[in-house]
Copies of this chain bind each other. A is one copy, B any other.
Amino acid sequence: MRKGERTKEFILEQSAILFNKQGYASTSLSDIMAATKLEKGGIYNHFASKEVLMQEAFLFAIAKVEERYNTLIEERKDARSRLHAILEVFKSFITNPPPIKGGCPMLNAAIEADDALPILRPSVRRALEGWRTAIKGILERGIARGELRRDVDPEGFSSVMLAALEGAIMLSKMYRDPVHIERVLAFLEVQIDSFEVRPHLYAGG
């Protein structure tokens, strides 16, 4: 990586942490200058405005979360294992949080993007739809391949799984207790296992 790219990535990482912990609207350019030890010009050299920096820092934070999922999901081949891989990665965040501290960057940005910072909404919505369609796609392919029962509802369950996981982060952060995430993961595991077609039930052995 060239020096300019390294500086740009360093600004993205530091501002993503500040945005995720303090909120996008509450984080000032001075906060980012203090965290990066850069002058205003050094930051605007890489990002045309705070709006551009917010968008790119959000995508940077989401990419850091997705990295861990992509590696593990590609190793798994069937629908049930892939869905369990999502829950495992999610669980790993409890003991080994992603580099952008301050909770789930999707949830945090979503709360601000809805009324306070509408400029962020299209990016958050697109990223959220990426996660939801990833779950939906695994379910759909699993049904098409005969791995999952035909009465599984990919649209419905993708919303339920994403909602429950994001809500669980909020609960566990408020209680400072991972038990809520663990309960939601255990519940979703049972649901996912119940989707599986069990050939022996039909094959008589």
Binding site for B on A (CB under 8 A): 20-23, 25-26, 102-103, 107-108, 110-116, 121, 124-125, 128-129, 132, 155-157, 159-160, 162-168, 170-171, 173-175, 179-180, 183-184, 186-187
Contacts and interface: CB of A to CB of B under 8 A. Distances in A.
Nearest to A129: B175
Given A111-B108, A164-B164, A167-B164, A174 B26 contact: no
Given A121-B174, A166-B166, 17 more contacts: A22-B115, A22-B116, A23-B23, A26-B116, A107-B111, A110-B173, A111-B170, A125-B174, A155-B183, A159-B168, A159-B171, A159-B179, A159-B184, A160-B164, A162-B171, A163-B165, A166-B171
A25 B156 CA distance: 35
B180 A159 contact: yes
Q: How many copies does the complex hold?
A: 2
A51 to B, nearest CB: 16
Contacts of A160: 164, 183-184, 187
